[in-house]
């Protein structure tokens, strides 16, 4: 699916019309058949911030460094420092082997500012999370990596509370939500603390890492 931006009209009061640019999700859900956990973010950053055509594509986002540190003891395992890219093919092979699925909580947004901040994302179309989970029957865990994604998941399942970072709640029978600290460097937490949080989740979901 190619990235698509369309101009949509919205009807306002007194016959007025406003036009907004709707951005549709540029990636298909990544759903290995053996997935045990589904990571859900909010929405990809603007294309100009991508260093690869895959999830968590911003080179200064530490998601793949966190995974590299946890699984290989090397935060640069998935990093191509010379080209300032992530090693996408190695990442995909790793995710397929381990059973880690990826997508976002929005399938279409109105980006209020041309940046990667969740604060300026207006969600136009929400992801049908249960439709994703039906494709990965071994998956009994969702991991969110930001406040907006967590709020969207909780709204979808109509939970009575929203977990804080490093907390988990039951969404329904057989499905647990783990809220992790954001892998964005804008999130004020040391890299090592983020690694510890993600590793605890993986140890619980996979029993051992």
Per-residue pLDDT of the chain (209 residues; tens, 9 = 90+): 344 655 555 444 455 556 677 889 999 999 999 999 999 999 998 888 999 999 999 999 999 999 999 999 999 999 999 999 999 999 999 999 999 999 999 999 887 766 556 667 788 899 999 999 999 999 999 999 989 999 999 999 999 899 999 999 999 999 999 999 999 998 989 999 999 999 999 999 998 44
> Does residue 4 lie within any of the structural domains?
no
Q: Is residue 114 part of a domain?
A: no
Residue 19 within any structural domain of the chain: no
Closest CA to 100 of 207, 205, 208, 192: 205
User: How many domains is the chain built from?
Assistant: 1
**Distance, CA of 143 to CA of 182 (rounded, Å):** 11
Domain assignment of residue 167, yes or no? yes
**Residues 39-63 as b or e (16 or more Cβ within 10 Å = b):** bbbbbbbeeeebbbebbbbbbebbb
The answer to whether residue 157 is domain-embedded is yes
Predicted TM-score of the model (pTM):
0.88
Q: Residue 83's domain is classified under what CATH number?
A: 3.40.470.10
Q: Is residue 49 part of a domain?
A: yes
pLDDT of residue 207: 81
**pLDDT at residue number 209:** 45
Residue 112: per-residue pLDDT: 76
CB neighbour list of residue 61: distance below 8 Å, 6 or more residues apart? 183, 184, 185
Which range of residues forms the domain containing residue 185?
28-105+126-206
How far is residue 83's CA from residue 51's CA, in Å, rounded to a whole number? 9
């Amino acid at each position: 699916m190619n990235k698509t931006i369309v101009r949509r009209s919205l009807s306002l009061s007194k016959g007025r019309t406003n036009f907004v640019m709707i951005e549709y999700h540029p990636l298909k859900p990544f759903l290995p058949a053996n997935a045990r956990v589904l990571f859900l973010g909010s929405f990809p950053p603007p294309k100009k911030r991508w260093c690869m055509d895959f999830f968590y594509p911003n080179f200064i986002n530490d998601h793949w460094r966190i995974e590299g540190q946890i699984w290989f003891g090397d935060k640069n395992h998935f990093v191509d420092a010379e080209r300032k890219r992530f090693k996408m093919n190695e990442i995909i092979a790793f995710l397929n082997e381990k059973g880690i699925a990826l997508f976002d909580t929005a399938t279409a947004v109105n980006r209020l500012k041309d940046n990667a901040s969740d604060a300026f994302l207006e969600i136009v179309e929400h992801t049908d999370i249960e439709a994703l989970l039906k494709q990965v029957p071994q998956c009994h865990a969702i991991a969110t990596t930001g406040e907006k994604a967590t709020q969207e998941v909780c709204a979808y399942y109509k939970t009575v509370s929203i977990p804080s970072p490093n907390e988990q709640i039951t969404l329904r029978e057989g499905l647990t939500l783990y809220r992790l600290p954001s892998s964005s460097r804008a999130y004020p937490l040391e890299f090592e603390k983020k690694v510890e949080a993600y590793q605890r989740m993986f140890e619980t979901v996979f029993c051992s890492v």
